[in-house]
Copies of this chain bind each other. A is one copy, B any other.
Amino acid sequence: MEKQISQAVIKRMPRYYRYLGELLDNGVERISSNELSIRMKVTASQIRQDLNNFGGFGQQGYGYNVQYLYEEIGKILGLDRQHNIIIIGAGNLGQALANYVKFEKRGFVTIGLFDVNPAMRGLSVRGIPIKMMDELEDFLADNKVDIVALTLPKEMALDVTDRVVKAGIRAIWNFAHLDLEVPEGVVVQNVHLSDSLMQLSYNIVKHEMEQE
C-alpha cells in the first residue's frame, strides 16, 4: 500500500494550484520553491516536502516548470476528469453553487437540482431543472452522479444521506450543520459556515484583547 498522505498536505494543494494558475496566466515559465514560498508566505521547505509526497516535479538548479507543475497538481486533485454533481436543496446556497460557472472549468458539472418545495417544480437554474425529491432515486439510477452536495436544512440531511448512500453515492459535499454518519468508503467533505464564522468571531475578540 502507498504511504498515506495527510489531509494537512491535501488541504494545501488547491492553494498551490491557484498560485501556479496565476503564474501561468502571467506568463511565468519557471519558479523556484524559494520564490513561490515568498509569494505564498510559507516556507520553501514545506513546498518541496509537500510536492515530493507525489513525486519529483522539479529540476535541480532550475526549479519547477509552472505549466507542468500546474497540470500535475491538477491530476493529483482529480481535475483531469469530469465530476457530475447533484445539488439537493435549491435554496439560495444551492442556487449559488449551481450558478458558480467556474466549477465547470475544473470539471465539476452540476447535472441536477432537487428540492422538497412543490412551488419550485418546473423552475430551473442556469438551464438545470429543479426536480422533486421523489424523483431522486430514478435520477441516480439513470445518471452517473459522482458528488452529492447537501444544501438543505439539517433536519432533512440524515434522511437524504441515507437515500443517496443506498443508491450508491460515495462522495458528499455537506453544507448542513451536522456531522453525517456514513458507511466506510463514503467520503464526506464538510463546509460548516457557522463554524467558520465562530472561528472568525473568536479571533476578533482575541485581537481586541491584545490591543488593550
A147 in contact with B92 (CB, 8 Å): no
Report the bound CA distance from A195 to B191 in whole Å: 11
Q: Is A28 an interface residue (CB 8 A)?
A: no
Q: Is A200 an interface residue (CB 8 A)?
A: yes
Main secondary structure of the interface of A (DSSP, over half): helix
- A82 to chain B minimum Cβ distance, whole angstroms, is 11
From known contacts A14-B194, A199-B11, infer whether A171 and B204 are also in contact, taking CB-CB under 8 Å: yes
Count of interface residues, chain A, beta-carbon cutoff 8 Å: 55
B14 in contact with A147 (CB, 8 Å): no
Which of B81, B173, B185 is A196 in contact with, Cβ under 8 Å? Answer: B173
- Give residues 94-145 of A contacting B (CB, 8 Å): 95-97, 99-100, 102-103, 106, 108
- Give residues 182-200 of A contacting B (CB, 8 Å): 185, 187, 189, 191-200
